[in-house]
Amino acid sequence: MSLSMRDPVIPGTSMAYHPFLPHRAPDFAMSAVLGHQPPFFPALTLPPNGAAALSLPGALAKPIMDQLVGAAETGIPFSSLGPQAHLRPLKTMEPEEEVEDDPKVHLEAKELWDQFHKRGTEMVITKSGRRMFPPFKVRCSGLDKKAKYILLMDIIAADDCRYKFHNSRWMVAGKADPEMPKRMYIHPDSPATGEQWMSKVVTFHKLKLTNNISDKHGFTLAFPSDHATWQGNYSFGTQTILNSMHKYQPRFHIVRANDILKLPYSTFRTYLFPETEFIAVTAYQNDKITQLKIDNNPFAKGFRDTGNGRREKRKQLTLQSMRVFDDRHKKENGTSDESSSEQAAFNCFAQSSSPAVSTVGTSNLKDLCPSEGESDAEADSKEEHGPEACDAAKISTTTSEEPCRDKGSPAVKAHLFAAEPGGRPRDSGRLDKASPDSRHSPATISSSTRGLGAEERRSPGREGAATSKAEEGRALPGKEAFAPLTVQTDAAAAAAHLGQGPLPGLGFAPGLAGQQFFNGHPLFLHPGQFAMGGAFSSMAAGMGPLLATVSGASTGVSGLDSTAMASAAAAQGLSGASAATLPFHLQQHVLASQGLAMSPFGSLFPYPYTYMAAAAAASSAAASSSVHRHPFLNLNSMRPRLRYSPYSIPMPVPDSGSLLTTALPSMAAAAGPLDGKAAALAASPASVAVDSGSELNSRSSTLSSSSVSLSPKLCPEKEAATSELQSIQRLVSGLEAKPDRSRSGSP
DNA sequence: TCTCTCACTTC
DNA sequence: TGAAGTGAGAG
């Protein structure tokens, strides 16, 4: 039997484990393909055109397919076949005319993003929803011109920390608040042909960010609370609900499918651009970010220095008040040496008050206000080069462009958030050599495209958060450093994986969301229904163009209930600890291996129980029920950013590292067949090294040793001077006592 | 911190 | 022309 390998762009990297699906779905799918219907899956409907297809890694295709056939004949649970297989109708197993695609994604306006990222991008979130700026735009290439694709975007928590802007820097301020319901936004033009997508810049500017948890721009899907992996609510919407003062990472997904119904069976290729990471705020914290927004966002023109907007008036007012102050000050104190320091402080204040005046900074000022006093250029320079006295060390990290499956895509670069320069000095060299065995991850199911170095660079920052968290109380300024790394995940496994936790929902195009069908009415939908398109089919009627192509193939989905699902899962050895051996487990690992926000902290992340249990055990006597319900809450409280290869036996790692190994034994079987694949991958230019658990170790050590005190270093004189100036300025100018934007000086 | 209103902008 | 997107600033 020959298999069509069209789907996997990289052998072994394409896993049709959709984020919307429980990890069991693939098994169901396979069963369906082979005519073996699980009792709890009464009406599997295969999308037309073989969208749901069994796609196997090349090297393993034949053997596994044989197993599949054998299993179909003998009734052997498909779950025992390992994680590689996924759905594709047999009829499409034959070579087709379809063109293989090799999607590449380029982030538009990368330079702009970089500018923001260097300073610590802030995105304002409002009750009614606020657009992102810079807008998230990408350009795609390598798509099959004739195939249809659905492009999506979602925003996941970058870590499980809450931040505060203190002393001109973003600092970790504690553990993250409970995560908001996640949503995924489907590009309004979806589905469209590859040709259409490639002919234009794909923009997601209509996506809005909100902190309004009761946002009605979507609808909720409620899943049984007792479901093993999909408890809770999943919402669709054009607005993404975020927590203020939390860090987020947008993601872009390409799904080759011609209608929404097929999403569950389709391969997700996920692209992540580190430079698009941001912190959600209800009010801007960093003047530099404000200024960048004003300077670049057309809608904020009114605040620019040029023109007659309020900005100009405000600036003039400020300058005027400063002049008055200056004059009076001179008159009162005469020209003296002591004025120098105050002048410096004044400058600092001026700079703060009028960000536009970027040249105000003086040497003195710099001493006092390393951040505010410097010009942008200087700031950039500093931000990218070496540590400073008052500024925590910043190390420019350049990501080694590793075998990236997608070289043209998101450049794998590491940036540092200037706004959080404090990070600990990162010793890239050390990081790079930190985890030798990570380079040997045999099986690269993950298509993590960034090099190890990149990953390492990113992870430290995030790991910092994790570490700090794990080590409760230990102030870790380094945490705040956004050690960015560009990760591009193509593997469906990785993608699905990525999508898994963080994307509990779908966000439909405005038009869709507004469809009468949704109207904010909660829907009760069984995962199976969701997975198999039953619900979608129903929705299709009201979904307009997006679902116009839906085949009405879907049939009854009745009889599905959580109990059945649960028992079925148990029967397949999918529940409880054994779940750890399932594909999803791999996905989790893959996700973790990419240093991504592994989870929707505290959300409904279907996580392998064994893994969770391990985490819980290590963390203390975490209630298993709690763990079960919110695996990531506990897991992440331990170590949100573990990365390891599910297929390699990680080196013994102290403390948290043990968590990683816990689930590995069970993975051995599944990993087995992948080894060959891994070899193939290794030889393939497209293959990507998967981080192993050892990385964690190295990272941890890096963290602990590289932690750098941040805010404490900020010179006290600066604050005093700034504060004094503010007082004076208020008196002189008569301006209201709003502490200005110079929060930097007097937090 | 957050919410709301405002003047200003784009489209 | 008006809807909608901006940051400022007051509360």
**pLDDT at residue A236 in the model:** 64
CB of A511 lies under 7 Å from some atom of strand C: no
Q: Which residue type does A206 have?
A: K
Q: Which residues are CB-contacts of A635 (< 8 A; sequence separation ≥ 6)? A: A598, A599, A607, A611, A612, A615, A616, A627
Query: Long-range contacts made by residues A439-442, C-beta under 8 angstroms, separation at least 24?
Result: A439/A689, A440/A648, A440/A689, A440/A692, A441/A593, A441/A645, A441/A647, A441/A648, A441/A678, A441/A689, A441/A690, A441/A691, A441/A692, A442/A645, A442/A647, A442/A648, A442/A671, A442/A674, A442/A675, A442/A678, A442/A679, A442/A682
Contact A286, A127 (CB under 8 A): no
Contact A90, A47 (CB under 8 A): no
| Average pLDDT estimate for A182-210 | 92
Whole-number Å distance between alpha carbons of A363 and A584: 55
Q: A191 preceded by cis ω (within 30°)?
A: yes
**Separation of A301 CA and B7 C1' (Å):** 12
Q: At A619, list the tokens.
A: 């963390």
**pLDDT at residue A277 in the model:** 96
Percent helix, strand, coil in chain A, to 5, is 40, 15, 45
- Does A200 have pLDDT greater than 90? yes
Q: Dihedral of CA A258/A264/A269/A274: which sign?
A: positive
Contact A527, A226 (CB under 8 A): no
**Separation of A726 CA and C7 C1' (Å):** 22
CB of A333 lies under 7 Å from some atom of strand B: no
- HSE-CB at A207 with a 13 A cutoff on CA atoms is 30
DSSP codes joined into one string, A501-524: TT----B--HHHHTSTTTTT--EE
- List the beta bridge partners of residue A247: A279
Whole-number Å distance between alpha carbons of A356 and A350: 10
Contact A303, A316 (CB under 8 A): no
pLDDT digits (tens, 9 = 90+) for A658-707: 222 222 223 333 333 333 333 333 323 222 222 323 332 333 322 222 22
| Average pLDDT estimate for A516-534 | 27
CB of A124 lies under 7 Å from some atom of strand C: yes
Residues 83-102 of A with CB under 7 A from strand C: none
Residues 186-215 of A with CB under 7 A from strand C: 206, 208
**Separation of A357 CA and B4 C1' (Å):** 29
- Does A246 have pLDDT greater than 90? yes
**pLDDT at residue A376 in the model:** 42
Please state whether beta strands A523-524 and A278-281 pair in parallel, antiparallel, or not at all (unpaired): unpaired
CB of A306 lies under 7 Å from some atom of strand B: no
Whole-number Å distance between alpha carbons of A151 and A144: 14
**pLDDT at residue A691 in the model:** 30
Q: For chain A, give every domain's residue range.
A: 102-220+233-296
Please state whether beta strands A523-524 and A218-223 pair in parallel, antiparallel, or not at all (unpaired): parallel
CB of A651 lies under 7 Å from some atom of strand C: no
**pLDDT at residue A319 in the model:** 57
Quickly state the pLDDT bin for A193 (edges 50, 70, 90): very high
Contact A488, A404 (CB under 8 A): yes
Cα distances (angstroms) measured from residue A199 to each of A40, A161, A196, A227: 43, 39, 5, 43
List phi, psi (to 5°) of A250: -70, 150
Whole-number Å distance between alpha carbons of A530 and A509: 18
| Average pLDDT estimate for A574-582 | 28
* Radius of gyration of the CA atoms of chain A, in A: 26
Give the nucleotide with minimal C1' distance to the Cα of A743. Answer: B1
The H-or-E segment that residue A251 falls in is strand A246-256
Whole-number Å distance between alpha carbons of A115 and A118: 5
**Separation of A166 CA and B2 C1' (Å):** 18
- Spatial CA neighbour of A134 closest among A150, A154, A152, A113: A113
Quickly state the pLDDT bin for A211 (edges 50, 70, 90): very high
- Does A555 have pLDDT greater than 70? no
For residue A47, the 8-state DSSP code is P
Contact A64, A84 (CB under 8 A): yes
- Does A92 have pLDDT greater than 80? no
**pLDDT at residue A253 in the model:** 92
Give the nucleotide with minimal C1' distance to the Cα of A244. Answer: B1
Residues 268-297 of A with CB under 7 A from strand B: 281-283
Percent of chain A with pLDDT over 90: 19
Q: Which nucleotides of B are covered by protein (CB under 7 A)?
A: 1-4, 7-11
| Average pLDDT estimate for A571-582 | 29
| Average pLDDT estimate for A90-96 | 46
CB of A167 lies under 7 Å from some atom of strand B: no
- Does A248 have pLDDT greater than 60? yes
Give the nucleotide with minimal C1' distance to the Cα of A163. Answer: B1
DSSP codes joined into one string, A95-133: --SPPP---EEEETTHHHHHHHHHH--EEE-BSS-EE-S
User: Yes or no: is domain A102-220+233-296 CATH 2.40.10.10?
Assistant: no
Cα distances (angstroms) measured from residue A37 to each of A32, A364, A525, A555: 5, 75, 20, 14
- Spatial CA neighbour of A491 closest among A65, A11, A5: A11
| Average pLDDT estimate for A187-203 | 94
pLDDT digits (tens, 9 = 90+) for A7-56: 222 222 223 333 333 322 233 223 223 222 222 222 222 333 332 222 32
Question: Residue with CA nearest B10 C1'?
Answer: A299
- Token match 């699905």: residue? A496
**pLDDT at residue A259 in the model:** 81
CB of A24 lies under 7 Å from some atom of strand C: no
pLDDT digits (tens, 9 = 90+) for A361-411: 222 323 323 333 333 434 444 443 332 322 322 222 222 233 323 333 333
* Chain mean position to CA A312: 38
